[in-house]
Structure 1
Amino acid sequence: MGKQKITIHDLAVIRFPSDIARSLALNLMNRHFKHISNEEKLTLITDVLEHPTNYTDHTTLGILVHKLLNTIADETASQVYELEPVPRPFDVFGSKHIDGNAMRQMELVMRLPIALKGALMPDAHQGYGMPIGGVLATKNAVIPYGVGMDIGCRMALSILDLPGSYIEHRSHELKKVLQEYTHFGNDGGLEFSQEHAILDHPDFQETALLKRLHGKAVRQLGSSGSGNHFVEFGIVELADDNTLGVRPGHYAAILSHSGSRSLGANIAQHYTTIATGKCKLPREAKSLAWLDLDSEEGAEYWLSMNLAGEYARACHDQIHKNLIRALGIDVLTSVENHHNFAWKETLIDGNEYIVHRKGATPAATGIYGIIPGSMIAPGYIVRGLGNDASLYSAAHGAGRKMSRLKAKESTTMGSMKKLLQKEKVILLGGSAEESPGAYKDIEVVMRSQQTLVATEGKFHPKIVRMAKD
């Protein structure tokens, strides 16, 4: 490959902390990386900017990192903030079943100067930054890490126009379509092309980061991540008094849980780096740095977060459409809800807030959702009751009672499969990290939020596909 030089014009697609940083990157690339393509140069510069600590010991790029970090420190406007000495009060649901680490994390969150209202859901457990199950209301400020890495992660349920017995009678066929029409893991995607309007969304052209991420979003559309993400066939049991517009009874159903894939993760990383550079907090609260929505970076994050949320929805659209088309079946109704997101909402005092729900879901009056249990425990189809004490929120699942590492150390795949066999649940893939014993009792969680949601029905898992260990 011949020598190629990049120009200042080529670098216009990348956000630099200053003109000095841009010129430095230009000179170093053209001097030390002459024999790689311009596209590779741009990719390398972007990665250095987003993950500088990965290059601190690099012979050439270490110099670039040192200069960039000094430039950011010198030239990027930042402000130092102190935490409030006492946390603002917040409501806790199911406190008896929430570990002390999650409580202490939420107390730290409520010491932020921007923290105005908060709540902790009954599935709460320790997370990164905010606890999983934490809800926080601020004014015109958003915390990228308070939203989380998997932006817009959601549950999607399709109730099929088929009796529940369909699942057991067609289990072989259902296993086959799960293997052929779903994809799991952090890399790759489906082996057949996907078409969805999200891929033509104009917001993909609004920032250099989104332009760069578009190609991978195309490849990953309709796929699922790792960890606790899943696609399941199961049986829905609808209550006699349900308000879904479907007659009570037992129906076959598809339930999926996944998020915005690499798109959301890269957005989260990028804007968390910017936020921590501009908003200086004590070490223990560093990851809770925020962006003002009136700032350029805050507006960009808000646009990107909402695009990631729409992309997560599109992934579920494709997952369900691909399975339904392969089976030649019809859908009676669907229920969806999402977490790891921030909303502009008017609360009971009449003021608009930015409501972060990290592993918590909206539960305003009449809002439907699905709250999963585990591979052997039912998920609950719910309707929000609009409780202002929870900031119109509810749990997003049973919640972990055991870390992934502890679950893996205390459970083998063999013992887990014996348990699943006993419960007549088929697992494709999976990991001991997601053993049913790693999760709280969903019945206890639901009893702890009777003032937050009403039950419309249950979903009983029967055939589960997850990422391999």
Structure 2
Amino acid sequence: MGNKISGKDLIKLGFPKTNTINIALGQINRYRKKEKKETILTEAKNVLLNPENYEGNGTWGKLAESLIQPVEIKKHELKSTRAPFSIFGENEIDEPTKFQLYDALKLPVSVAGALMPDAHFGYGLPIGGVLATDNAVIPYGVGVDIGCRMSLSVFDLPAEYLNGKTDMLENILMNHTKFGMKEVHKIKADHEVFSRDEFREIPLLKGLLDKAYTQLGTSGGGNHFVEFGIVEINESKPEWNLPNGKYVAVLSHSGSRGLGANIAKHYTYLAGKQTPLPKNVQHLAWLNLETHDGQEYWKAMNLAGEYAKACHDDIHRRIAKALGKRVLVNIGNHHNFAWKEMINGKEYIIHRKGATPAGKGVLGIIPGSMTAPGYIVEGLGNESSLNSASHGAGRVLSRSKCKQTFTRNDIKNVLKKNGVNLIGGNVDEAPMAYKDIRKVMNCQQELVRVLGTFTPKVVRMDR
């Protein structure tokens, strides 16, 4: 008979011949397949008899939900009309990107949307797309790199400190930052995020804890970076206790690493099964926040965001220690995330996929390319943008187009002209691949106020 549990085993226990059988088998195969058959069947029987006792349980919660309130799976069609939306910097955005937002606005759960001036084509939502939904979260509306964020540390050092220290700064970045799939720190750091209940209560996360611990304080590939540069503060905030002027600073860009990628993959699959959509928008499948999977994703997403922040905190701690200087001010923000926010007196889910939160008084960082300034900004709370702004300059050339267009010598010449030293980096991240950040910022003057700038000088990326 073997140790594998079948649908017949569950039917013998008294399970109804409905989708509950598939749900039970899916949960068992995913999380409990190495355990004894008798043990699993005993637990399954208890869930059948008293499902209310298992609501919210990591393994059995979804099965309990299906027994208490069965949900009919049906294919959803798009609405014929779009939800209200605004586009900022329309002339800087191509048509395919706009139409990607238009499709998202036709989802049955969509209530409003916006497109930022750095927007370009992506999976599901466009990069630079903002979407408000009613009681639903779209894993691909958040993105694969959950909690991808910016973090800027301003040091107690004048800008002149950088003069003649390029070799030293390169050594600090080489020795104290790690990139890509293989590099990790030899001396691991602990962090309070690892004591979060979600790592014990959600089976998927329990299996990702070791990976998360190993990758703490590392950065991903692609457009992720850690760089030394010069911050110029033009309008200091009272809480910074920092006079206007120029300082040495470190800017980092990265997300939740393997933890976030695995969360995105798992819950995108579940969303696709629960809210199937037409092929052209299948990546926009959502999870109802009142369901077990919706609540579980929300917890996992928020944990991934906290983990991404922990990675940046560790990066900046290591660099500050190597410099032997204290951080005066740190500013950071997510730009791949979903938030619960109020619109016209009602709470909705605001997805910002490659967009910076820009509620009134909210601080953020909008980077340029390696050879262009980034901006320290304060949100103006513009409701037509769903309290959002761009997350950077935005691509004008795809990665494949970059490889066809530029050589490494082209990049070296541009970097030299701008006085920037680069460690690593691939042709697909050529500075010329990006829009003019100054034009992008000009298109969002009604969204954010500029408090200062960051100019890169020594940059490290994945090789």
What are the residue-to-residue correspondences of 1:154-233 with 2, within 5 Å?
154-233=149-228
Task: Look up the match of 2:328.
Answer: 332
Shift of 1:194: 1.2
Task: Look up the match of 1:452.
Answer: 447
Amino acid at match of 2:440: V
Equivalent residues of 1:430, 1:465 under 8 A apart: yes
Matched, 1:393 2:388: yes
Task: Look up the match of 2:23.
Answer: 18
Shift of 1:248: 0.9
Amino acid at match of 1:435: A
TM-superposition CA deviations, 1:55-111 (whole Å, max 9, x none)? xxxxxxxxxxxxxxxxxxxx9852221101122231000000001111010000001
The 2-side partners of 1:257 and 1:303 are apart by: 23
The 2-side partners of 1:222 and 1:373 are apart by: 23
Q: Structure 1 residues 460 and 282, CA, compared in 2 at 3 Å: closer, same or farther? A: same
Greater shift after overlay, 416-425 or 395-404? 416-425
Task: Look up the match of 1:266.
Answer: 262
Shift of 1:6: 6.9
The 1-side partners of 2:408 and 2:157 are apart by: 32
What are the residue-to-residue correspondences of 1:357-436 with 2, within 5 Å?
357-436=352-431
SS of the residue corresponding to residue 137 of structure 1 reads strand
> 126, 131, 155: which is aligned to 1:131?
126
The 1-side partners of 2:365 and 2:387 are apart by: 15
Equivalent residues of 1:339, 1:360 under 8 A apart: yes
SS of the residue corresponding to residue 150 of structure 1 reads coil
Q: TM-score, normalised to structure 1's length?
A: 0.85
Equivalent residues of 1:17, 1:76 under 8 A apart: no
> RMSD of the alignment, in Å?
2.1
The 1-side partners of 2:282 and 2:30 are apart by: 28
Task: Look up the match of 1:467.
Answer: 462
TM-superposition CA deviations, 1:327-365 (whole Å, max 9, x none)? 111111111111110000112x11111000000011001
Shift of 1:22: 6.9
Equivalent residues of 2:155, 2:328 under 8 A apart: yes
Q: Hey, which bits of structure 1, 4+ residues long, moved more than 3 A?
A: 5-8, 15-27, 240-245
Matched, 1:318 2:317: no
Q: Structure 1 residues 325 and 285, CA, compared in 2 at 3 Å: closer, same or farther? A: same
Task: Look up the match of 2:40.
Answer: none
> 300, 307, 328: which is aligned to 1:304?
300
SS of the residue corresponding to residue 91 of structure 2 reads helix
Q: Structure 1 residues 300 and 24, CA, compared in 2 at 3 Å: closer, same or farther? A: closer
The 2-side partners of 1:26 and 1:311 are apart by: 23
TM-superposition CA deviations, 1:9-37 (whole Å, max 9, x none)? xxxxxx9943455788999x8xxxxxxxx
TM-superposition CA deviations, 1:364-423 (whole Å, max 9, x none)? 011001100000000000000000000100000000001011012111112201210121
Percent identical: 52
Amino acid at match of 1:98: I
Amino acid at match of 1:340: N
SS of the residue corresponding to residue 78 of structure 1 reads coil
SS of the residue corresponding to residue 110 of structure 2 reads coil
Amino acid at match of 1:303: K
The 2-side partners of 1:265 and 1:16 are apart by: 29
SS of the residue corresponding to residue 280 of structure 1 reads coil
SS of the residue corresponding to residue 80 of structure 2 reads coil
Structure 1 unpaired stretches of 5+: 9-14, 30-37, 40-74
SS of the residue corresponding to residue 424 of structure 2 reads strand
Greater shift after overlay, 175-184 or 76-85? 76-85
The 1-side partners of 2:209 and 2:28 are apart by: 27
Equivalent residues of 2:143, 2:336 under 8 A apart: yes
The 2-side partners of 1:21 and 1:278 are apart by: 14
The 2-side partners of 1:82 and 1:270 are apart by: 23
Alignment size in residue pairs = 413
Equivalent residues of 2:236, 2:242 under 8 A apart: no
SS of the residue corresponding to residue 79 of structure 1 reads coil
Equivalent residues of 1:125, 1:399 under 8 A apart: yes
> 285, 290, 297: which is aligned to 1:289?
285
The 2-side partners of 1:21 and 1:335 are apart by: 43
Equivalent residues of 1:189, 1:219 under 8 A apart: yes
SS of the residue corresponding to residue 461 of structure 1 reads strand
SS of the residue corresponding to residue 116 of structure 1 reads strand
Structure 2 unpaired stretches of 5+: 6-19, 36-69
Equivalent residues of 2:31, 2:203 under 8 A apart: no
Shift of 1:427: 0.1
Shift of 1:259: 0.1
The 2-side partners of 1:98 and 1:250 are apart by: 34
The 2-side partners of 1:105 and 1:125 are apart by: 10
